[in-house]
Amino acid sequence: MNKIPVIKSQIFENYAQIKFGFSTRIGGVSPYPYGMNLSFNVGDERVNVIKNRELFFGELKIGLDELAIPQQVQGGTVKRVYVQGGYDECDGLITNSYGVFLTVTTADCLPVFLFDPVTKSIGAVHAGWRGLLLNIVPTAIRMMWQEFRSFPENIKVFIAPAAGVCCYEIMDDVGSKFPEEFKVKSVKTFLDIKLYAKMQLINSGVSESNIEISEYCTICNPDLFHSHRRDKKKSGRMMGVIGLVR
């Protein structure tokens, strides 16, 4: 069987204490246009999604019964979790439990992954423009301090592939909610959600040198990534995962 492509993080590769990976649309069993779709909620057959999850997480040697999965609602809630399973009404999870692999599901929104090598704690956050305005990223940083005494300056961050400022077009109703320095205007207006998240991280005390941002834009890389903005209802979903290992 062909190897399943997995996006890795340079900043996380230095640490044997964690396992991390982010999927693409390549290598799945679902019919076109889904391919490697990992979501049950986009019209794909359930049996195909399960097989796709087995393929992707199997590549990382992670069992499906080891996953913690938030039922994302484009909100600002982050939950501390102790065990695997599904978690309602939240877009972020944090833990210091070994063998609990935190996931987020995306197809343009920001997947933000956190790791404190000092306290051995992790986080996974799904942040669209609504979540960014609800400060879900700073909330995750604050909760890691409250729950684990993680100093922000120790936290390593990877912002995985997401919509880039090259393609993330917004209308005035959304644009008016963001400062001008995060927008690029020509005939249309584009929002830099990656830069906005970076600003929030730095303002929360995370060192800029501890932040890695993927240059991939999900919208303008159709051969590699699903994109809801590009493909609408015919879009599958990627998943990213992070977990502590002994």
Share of the chain above pLDDT 90, in %: 96
In this prediction, residue 40 carries a pLDDT of 96
Starting at the edge strand found earlier in the chain, the sheet holding 78-80 runs 78-80, 92-95, 121-127, 110-116, 156-159, 211-213
State pLDDT tens for residues 44-87: 999 999 999 999 999 999 999 999 999 999 999 999 999 999 99
Averaged pLDDT score across all residues of the chain: 96
pLDDT grade, residue 133 (50/70/90)? very high
Burial of 193 (0-12, 13-18, 19+ CB in 10 A): buried
Q: What is the mean pLDDT of residues 82-100?
A: 98
pLDDT grade, residue 186 (50/70/90)? confident
Residue 1: pLDDT over 80: no
Helix axes of 136-148 and 193-203: crossing angle, nearest 10 degrees: 30
Residue 238: pLDDT over 70: yes
Residue 2: pLDDT over 70: no
pTM: 0.97
Distance of alpha carbon 174 from alpha carbon 64, whole angstroms: 37
What domains, with CATH codes, occur in the chain?
Answer: 18-163+211-244 (3.60.140.10)
- CA distances 164 to 100, 160, 188, 227, Å, are 30, 11, 14, 11
With contact defined as beta carbons under 8 Å apart, do 126 and 72 qualify?
yes
In this prediction, residue 233 carries a pLDDT of 87
